[in-house]
A and B are shown apart, each in its own frame.
Chain A
Amino acid sequence: MTQDRIPRPSPHTVPRKSATFDDYTLSEIRRAAATGIYDIRGGGAKRKVPHFDDLLFLGASVSRYPLEGYRERCGTDVVLGSRFASKPIDLKIPITIAGMSFGSLSAQAKEALGRGASAMGTSTTTGDGGMTAEERGHSTKLVYQYLPSRYGMNPDDLRKADAIEIVIGQGAKPGGGGMLLGQKISPRVAAMRTLPEGIDQRSACRHPDWTGPDDLEIKILELREITDWEKPIYVKVGAARPYYDIALAVKAGADVVVLDGMQGGTAATQEVFIENVGIPTLAAIRPAVKALQDLGMHRKVQLIISGGIRNGADVAKCLALGADAVAIGTAALVALGDNDPAYADDYAELGTVPGAYDDWHEGNDPAGITTQRPELAARLDPERAGRRLANYLSVMALEAQTIARACGKSHVHNLEPEDLVALSIEAAAMAGVPLAGTDWIPGRGPF
């Protein structure tokens, strides 16, 4: 007896995409093939790397005595530049605003950063391109960056500053110089930088008049002499070889060292540079602290950490690992309104979505922050944006205090590595704290 068979398709697998050649990678190959030029974007590393989410605080218990809620005092103040400067900076919170240039940002954004930081008793920082009247006028404490390009650099502004930050590198691109494409070289930006309007400006990647740590020591001497030894002098490096770089900066005479991890943002750089050069912020802190400790300079030369700081927990973790303060850039821009869903339609026109927009170099920012186009910049109300930043800074400080009190600390600087554990072996090894539930610190002893 025969039986009619119903034809069925052969079983097959569902479409499977490659983990190696994922959608983004494929799109980048197609983009490169079509254009013949590398991709440029703003922001920091987007790849997933061990970060502060991989650490937890232990909090107080039988063996530790906590402080009560928000009533018992938990200090947040920090003094920066006490090593040599006669006028160190006294901040009310250990969260500063990182260097971002007028040019990469609109004048309104710079003003808003100054307003927000000043409201919270902390500092903001200039960037490549010099000091604007807006940011000096609205920043009670302003750090003046001294960069390889020396755009807009002049001794009058140097003396107006509250501190000087010698920029050797930044976390998004250790070894790379600044980049500001022609769309953002407006007449005002061009005049401040002594450049023709509309050109693609590429800043020098190394300082023009010194090479190496011995020269840096003399350069710091010159800056101190010009400012009569009043101003704290910071040295900022991108996270690459933090132990040696921090040690050399201290040897050269820095009052403060700023260490920027690869998640730290940039106004514009090649994607391949951002994602493949430098090390994560988490991996950089402990070697830097060890360098300071080995030199007997921990807490004498202050350490500022930046690169992917998002909330009070991140702040507390940095401090617990040995930092004196943190600096925020990307998060501060988000607080002002960067990548806000309110501009979803505008982002769609630019071929992107809120949260992913990173073509800051093109100058078309719907939020009016990373642009020099007057009609876009006018969208940002500096007063309102400044209040948003102040609110955000306040929350970060409150969160850091909450954690510190839970750990029984009367000052956020009393947090220590012993308060931390790690959720992964990688994070434990990088941060130098035990894997949670064990007393094992990878690299420091057997499991």
Chain B
Amino acid sequence: MTAQDLTIDLASTTLRQLNQALHRLAPDTNQRYWRVLNPRGGHALAAGLDAPVKVEIDGHVGYYCAGMNKLATVIVNGNAGVGVAENMMSGLVHVRGDASQAAGATAHGGMLVIDGNASARCGISMKGIDIVVKGSIGHMSAFMGQAGTLTVLGDAGEALGDSLYEARLFVRGSVASLGADCVEKEMRDEHRAELGARLEAAGLAGTVDVAEFRRYGSARQLYNFHIDNVY
């Protein structure tokens, strides 16, 4: 048996038909590479995948592309709308353009790579995902981030890591401001190793110096309610 490549043109195929075909794939499917044409900003493209296949979308996508992804690799050759890879469990989502708000929101695992910039609330409520943004991120990113890593090669907007739990944040550029209970932390060897591993996984090994990054995390002052900590 040989692997089969499939091309789906959304100019003549509905979103429902595309997603249904992808959902029916068995874990050992031979239909491992799917190319999607003419996405035209459609929403929920390749959402809910649960098989180790590769889906490459040529064009811009709307809200929630690759939402709740498991196992699959989804490549967006364009920009992505709100909530790309939201609640991803595993796999890889790669946006070659920019991403709108809430990229990687609440995601439990897998990796999200954004070649361009990501808008506000990138990694909001992240629960284990690794996010690498080659450009900059908007305000309130990693808000209530619980676990995982957010790596930013550019700058971070205001209120980075507000109400942060245990997500780890690495920023190479400037940070406009830190949110409530988010503090800069010492960058030790284990953190440089972790950052290096994330950069390598994002295909950036040898192209970025980990020494240029600063680390941010939770001060853990809000973990148990105290009246003096009310903002």
Contacts and interface: CB of A to CB of B under 8 A. Distances in A.
Contacts of A227: 48
B224 A209 contact: no
Contacts of A228: 19-20, 23
Contacts of B214: none
Nearest to A146: B87
A228 B68 CA distance: 14
A152 B110 CA distance: 16
Interface in A162-212: 181-182, 193-196, 198-200, 204, 208-210
Contacts of A229: 16
Contacts of B225: 37, 181, 200
Given A215-B82, A225-B47, A154 B108 contact: yes
Interface in A127-166: 149-150, 153-155, 158
Most buried by A among B68, B101, B102, B227: B68
B156 interface: no
A226 interface: yes
A218 B62 contact: yes
Instruction: Give the contact-size bracket for chain A.
Output: 20 to 34
A11 interface: no
Contacts of A215: 63, 82
A211 to B, nearest CB: 9
Contact of A153 (B64, B82, B102, B106): B106
B106 A208 contact: yes
A218 B63 contact: yes
A209 B86 contact: yes
Prevailing SS type, chain A contact patch: loop
A221 interface: yes
B106 A226 contact: no
Most buried by A among B87, B124, B147: B87
B47 A194 contact: no
Contact of B128 (A37, A153, A194): A194
B13 to A, nearest CB: 14
A149 B125 CA distance: 7
B89 A154 contact: yes
A200 B20 CA distance: 41
Contact of B101 (A37, A154, A209): A209
A182 B224 contact: yes
Contacts of B166: 196
26 contacts: A37-B227, A150-B87, A150-B125, A153-B87, A153-B106, A154-B87, A155-B48, A155-B50, A182-B223, A193-B146, A194-B146, A195-B165, A196-B165, A199-B223, A208-B102, A208-B121, A209-B121, A218-B43, A218-B63, A221-B43, A221-B44, A222-B64, A225-B47, A228-B20, A228-B23, A229-B16
Interface of A: 36-37, 149-150, 153-155, 158, 181-182, 193-196, 198-200, 204, 208-210, 215, 218-219, 221-222, 225-229
